Every structure is written in structure tokens, then in C-alpha cells.
A = this chain, B = another copy of it.
Amino acid sequence: MANETITAPEGFLAAGLGCGIKVSGKTDLGLLVCPSGATGAAVFTTNRITSAAVQVCREHVRSRKVYAVAVNSGNANACTGKRGLANAVKMCGAAAQHVGAKIEQVLVASTGIIGEQMPVQKAVDGIEAAAGRLSDSPKAGLDFAKAIMTTDTKPKQAVRQLRISGRDVTIAGAVKGAGMIGPNMATTLLFLTTDAAITKPLLKAALKDAVGNSLNKLTVDGHQSTNDTAILLASALAGHRPITSRCPRYRTFAGALLDLCTDLARQMALDAEGATRMFKVVVQGAATKTEATRAARAVADYPLVKCAVHGGDPNWGRIICAVGSAGVKLDPAKLSCKLDNLYVFRNGSPAKFDEKKATRIVSQREHTITVNLGAGRASDFCYGCDLTAEYVHINAEYHT
């Protein structure tokens, strides 16, 4: 079986197991290790309140080499004060001890309930147990992907193969995300591994661009969590000449990374809490890119649009209403809207269209809404998903 997990690139070992943080006993502790030391980069939530894990990880990722990442689900270690901070450091310490690294060479990430102290002894014991099971097998990678799940219904992973300077290079990723996903950091938790050789600043740049044009374009309920973290580790073991500038080899790497992250973002949208469909919103003809972004997000976040998509209803009036409410410049006489390639509203007036065809388009697993504001030349896009009764059930019952 081909390895399609984060252990696919050369130089990475992983493990995942249940250590009892989740009362259900499900897998909740993951460990990712690069024994040779990896170049690391990370991007984090822009929420003003950040989890203890984010605060610690933000410091540790500055280390020249990263040897391990410890991650847990079931407890976010957010809003937990100084004790939470100490617990996040303890988790790094446990992993550092087992892989022979310094504490600041270990990253940490958490997801789950906010405001409860981490049962840190369980986490430390779990890290110790995971260290004993580290492997580069596909199963180990899958166990890690399972360890980061909360309300996700399935592990989400992807792999890309590319050639750089005649050598095979692999990039792999595992992501979790369900609710609480908003643009500007739509990750929740994303872990990427690669055996490419690339400098730290370029690794950071590639990660920022890839996340910015994929996961950050995804909105499930319009908010950013306190814990959103994306980590990219590069082992440099693929054996090619290191990427040290924005040369064609960098662009090959960055392109593959974006493609991988887009794949993961689509998996996230289709596995968002209760979601059954996803859609892309493209806004063209905006006065500025910022306004294009804002208008696209207004459509994708609008509960009435999300409900209409759920119902397979080509209710374009709600799309126009959302755009009008976004506070962006538009020309009412030029405003147009398409569902896939079907015009439903053109130059400020309803278009004549085949309603059955429109219903078929909106009832697909994925479709594209294109809005032209008629106010300029800027454009942007985002991804959204439908709003379902299941979303409400999940979030009314998920317990504190």
C-alpha cells in the first residue's frame, strides 16, 4: 500500500493513540518526530485570545531545528492561564526527553474544549507511550491523523509527489477542521511534512502563501478559533540541491504545496460539521481585492445562502442580498450572478433561465457561485459549505 500519510516523506515517524483526554477513549494523542531534525515553519490564528499551545508553539518554532510535534485533541488548553502555559511546556518536555531534543525544539498543538485545564499527566503518559510506537508506516501516519480529530467524521490526508533537480520529493499533510473555521486561518490544525531541502524563510513564505490561498479561503462559521495552527516541517532528506531563492524550483515546490493544501481544504469543507455540500464563491469586478474578499465571504457566511444550498434551491435573491449587505462598492445596473455557467441575474435584472437546470447545479456536491460587482477589476474567491440541522445538533449538544 502506498503511503498517503504524513510519514510518506523521508525522515518522519509518527504515532497516535488514546491517552484518556477524550472521555470516549478515542485516539487523542499524536506524536510526529523528525529524528534528523527538520526546518520548521508555522502560521497561527489571528484570534486575540490564543491557546497556551499556540503561545508556546509560536516561540519554539523559532528554533533552527524542530525534532518533534506533540498534539492532542479533546482539550484546547485555551483560556487556562499560567497553569495552561506550564502544561503546554510540560507536553513539549515529555516529547523532548523521548527524542533527545531540547524543549524549545519541540512544537505543541491542542484542539478541543476551551477553558478546562489539560489533564497533563495523561498527555505526558500518552506522549511516552507514543514515543514507544513511532513508525514510518502508513498506519502510524493514519493514527496521527486520527489523533487530531474532534467532530471530524474521518481523517483528512493528502500527498503530492514532485521532482526537484532530478530527485523525488514528497509533501504530505494531515488536517483537522470541522466547525469554528473562518478565513485568515481556516486551519484548525494542519501538519505538513516534506523531505524537500529549503531555507527557513522560504519554507515560511511557501506555507503562508499556500495556506492563504487554500485553507484561509474556507469559511464554515466565519470565526477563527483560539487554537488554529499550521505547521510545515522539512527534513531535507530528498537529496536535491537546497532551495535558497525564489527560483523555478521554489515555484515547483510552492505550487505543489498549494495544490496539496487546496485538496485538504476541500476535504475540510465536505467534512465540516453537518455539511453535505460545498461551494466556491468567486467575486469579480470589485473595486479592490479587499472588497472582493469581503463580498465573497459575505455570501459564503450568509446563513440563508448556506441553507438554500442545503435545500438545493437556486435562491439567487439571497446571494444578491448578501452582496448588497457586504458594504462594498457595486453598480446595481451591472451586478450579475451565475451558478456555474448559468446566468440567474444579469446587469441588475433577473435572467431567464431553466429552473430545473439551476436546481441541478445547486444540488451538486460542489458548485461555483460567480458574482460580478461591475465596480472594477479586482477579484477573489472563497469556499463555503451548506448549513444543516446536523450542524445545530452537533453544536447544541457538544458539551462543556
Interface set of A (CB-CB < 8 Å, partner B) = 47-50, 76, 78-81, 113-117, 179-180, 182, 221-226, 298, 301-304, 307-308, 310-311, 313-318, 320-328, 330, 332, 335, 345, 348-350, 387-389, 391-400
Contacts and interface: CB of A to CB of B under 8 A. Distances in A.
A79 B49 contact: no
Contacts of A113: 317
Given A304-B395, A400-B315, A223 B179 contact: no
Contacts of A318: 114
This chain's copy number in the assembly: 2
A150 to B, nearest CB: 13
B320 A49 contact: yes
A320 B387 contact: no
B324 A180 contact: no
A21 B66 CA distance: 67
A232 B369 CA distance: 39
B307 A396 contact: yes
Contacts of A313: 396, 398-400
Nearest to A386: B396
Contact of A223 (B322, B387, B394): B322
B392 A115 contact: no
Given A308-B396, A400-B314, A224 B350 contact: no
B302 A350 contact: no
Nearest to A82: B349
Contacts of A307: 391-392, 394-396
Closest 3 CB pairs of A and B: A114-B317, A49-B324, A311-B396
